[in-house]
Chain A
Amino acid sequence: MIQVEHLFKHYPDKVALDDINLTFPAEQTIAIVGPSGSGKSTLLRSLNLLERPDQGKLQIDDLTLDLSQPITTSQILQIRQKTAMVFQEKALFTHLTVMRNLTEGPIKVQKKNKQEAEAKASELLEQFGMSELADRYPYQLSGGQQQRVAILRALAMSPKYLLLDEPTSALDPELEAQVLRVLKDLAKKDTSMVVVTHNMAFAEQVADQIVFIDDGKVGYNGATETFFHSDSERIQQFLGAMSF
């Protein structure tokens, strides 16, 4: 379980996170939605400390951090070993093949030996039907393939929680569908996921829980079904703005 309490993040010109209190249960898929600039990504990036909130408590399983105190590098690394992140933009290591992208973390961070890391990577590639991509470099892949490899790179770390920051927003609809199918598969297997998304159809189909972030605050936190049939004027306005 990931839990945040009284999370605040101030930028010089705005409050990005304004007293956020949330629990992300394990083995569930939680979709974070909300308007652009509402603080969704900042919240997600706070969960693995890529963003450093000014105040609040972050708890991942048995590890609790008071974010208003100085945090040591080893605490940050501990948090990051429990989580893995997939980014919005192309974030594969461009100088490494797909296989090396998948084994770099396990070898360099988890100190696994090469055979073990490669066996696990091959297994993942096989499982998601991408074995033939193993020796290619990122520039030789389509955007959708790159993003699916990025998901596998995260999974290769065997993280407890998978964090995804708008993983499909840079893709064409067709390529987006490929990636969303992978995420749907993962959700069915009870992978613990927190995904920031603009794709409401995906959120409605796949998420067990919706968190609606509006202007740095939690505007809704609860069941998916209830969110999409909410009476709240603000939520209806948001959902209305997403369709045309």
Chain B
Amino acid sequence: MIDFFNLAVKYLPELFMTALKYTLPLTAIAFFFGIILASITAIIRVAKLPQNEWAAAALQLLKWLAAAYVWFFRSTPLLVQLFIVFYGLPNAHIALFQSAWVSAITVFSLNTGAYASETIRASIASVPEVQKQAAESLGMTSAQVYWNVVLPQAARISIPPLSNSLISLLKDTSLASVITIVEIFYLAQQIAAANYKVLSMYILVAMVYAFFTSILAIAQHYLEKYTSRFAQ
């Protein structure tokens, strides 16, 4: 026990610093792009086809692309996606991403975006139709209806499931270790390989993940409380 305590004092600062330098930025950046991607995908998937034939055909094509994107990233493992992008593509001389960072951000963003788009799609659909009609009858354009009426309400509904996505993403960044990014799990493995304190090091790194995800869960709680002021 004292041994574990000494290890904690010795390695926790380094693990925290690494989390701040790698795990958290990777999570934040990937979530940021993921949500943008998810919003665009969700809006494409719920949009009604316009009357103009060409516009309708173009939108239909986008809908298929969006559906294919969501299907691909939900039906394959994140680890496999990382391997394809970082090891597979360069091997086939498709050197899209030489950098491990760019590869990681791309894959995590796309993966989070696919799951979150389903959350956002459901949240948009949950806003009562009559409120959208009321906004239209006031003379709002479709964009204004989305921005002023649909999104604020959809955002509130999507907080719990999107928090799930964010918490999962933070933990999933540990997979970046397999594409050479020295984030906290990689660091813990390296230390354990040197000092043989395997169990202690993995428990320590688990505690660091739990610390940050707990902060996210607490933030979620307050965000829900704040945004629930207009509902029972």
Chain A positions within 8 Å of B, measured between CB atoms, are 48, 50, 70, 73, 77, 80-81, 83-85, 87, 89-96, 104-105, 108-110, 137-139, 150, 153, 157
Rounded to whole Å, the gap between the CB of B156 and the closest CB of chain A is 7
Which of A77, A87, A150 is within 8 Å of B139, CB to CB?
A77
Q: Which chain A positions have C-beta within 8 A of B139?
A: 77, 80-81, 105, 109-110, 157
Of the candidates A77, A94, A96, the one having the most CB atoms from chain B within 10 angstroms of its own CB is A94
Q: Which chain B positions have C-beta within 8 A of A83?
A: 137
Of the candidates A95, A110, A153, A157, the one having the most CB atoms from chain B within 10 angstroms of its own CB is A95
Instruction: Contacts A91-B131, A95-B156, A109-B140 known; list 14 others, CB within 8 Å.
Output: A77-B141, A84-B137, A85-B137, A90-B130, A91-B128, A92-B131, A93-B131, A93-B135, A94-B131, A94-B230, A105-B139, A110-B139, A137-B231, A138-B230
Chain B positions within 8 Å of A, measured between CB atoms, are 51-52, 128, 130-131, 133-141, 144, 148-149, 152-153, 156, 229-232
A156 nearest in chain B by CB position: B138
Rounded to whole Å, the gap between the CB of A235 and the closest CB of chain B is 31
Q: Which chain A positions have C-beta within 8 A of B138?
A: 80, 84, 104-105, 108-109, 153, 157
A105 CA to B136 CA in the complex, in Å? 10
A105 CA to B141 CA in the complex, in Å? 11
Q: Which chain A positions have C-beta within 8 A of B231?
A: 94, 137, 139
Residues B131 and A109 in contact, CB atoms below 8 Å apart: no
A137 CA to B230 CA in the complex, in Å? 6
Residues B130 and A70 in contact, CB atoms below 8 Å apart: no
Of the candidates B52, B130, B139, the one having the most CB atoms from chain A within 10 angstroms of its own CB is B139
Residues B230 and A109 in contact, CB atoms below 8 Å apart: no
Rounded to whole Å, the gap between the CB of A149 and the closest CB of chain B is 12
A139 CA to B51 CA in the complex, in Å? 37
Inter-chain contact total with CB atoms closer than 8 Å: 74
Rounded to whole Å, the gap between the CB of B84 and the closest CB of chain A is 42
A91 CA to B134 CA in the complex, in Å? 6
Residues B141 and A87 in contact, CB atoms below 8 Å apart: no
Residues A87 and B144 in contact, CB atoms below 8 Å apart: no
Residues B148 and A87 in contact, CB atoms below 8 Å apart: no
Residues B134 and A93 in contact, CB atoms below 8 Å apart: yes
Q: Which chain B positions have C-beta within 8 A of A94?
A: 131, 153, 230-231
Q: Which chain A positions have C-beta within 8 A of B133?
A: 50, 85, 87, 91
B229 nearest in chain A by CB position: A137
16 contacts between A and B (CB under 8 A): A48-B137, A70-B51, A80-B136, A83-B137, A84-B138, A85-B134, A87-B130, A89-B128, A92-B131, A93-B134, A94-B230, A94-B231, A95-B156, A95-B230, A139-B230, A153-B138
Please name the 10 residue pairs, one residue from A and one from B, whose CB atoms are nearest each other, closest first: A105-B138, A85-B137, A80-B139, A91-B134, A137-B230, A109-B139, A91-B130, A89-B130, A95-B152, A95-B230
A95 CA to B153 CA in the complex, in Å? 6
A153 CA to B131 CA in the complex, in Å? 13
Rounded to whole Å, the gap between the CB of A40 and the closest CB of chain B is 16
B147 nearest in chain A by CB position: A108
Q: Which chain A positions have C-beta within 8 A of B152?
A: 95
Q: Which chain B positions have C-beta within 8 A of A95?
A: 149, 152-153, 156, 230
B231 nearest in chain A by CB position: A139
Of the candidates A70, A83, A108, the one having the most CB atoms from chain B within 10 angstroms of its own CB is A108
Residues A108 and B140 in contact, CB atoms below 8 Å apart: yes
**Assuming the A-B contacts A48-B137, A50-B137, are A96 and B144 also in contact, with contact meaning beta carbons closer than 8 angstroms in the complex?**
no
**Assuming the A-B contacts A70-B51, A95-B153, A137-B229, are A87 and B134 also in contact, with contact meaning beta carbons closer than 8 angstroms in the complex?**
yes
Rounded to whole Å, the gap between the CB of B146 and the closest CB of chain A is 12
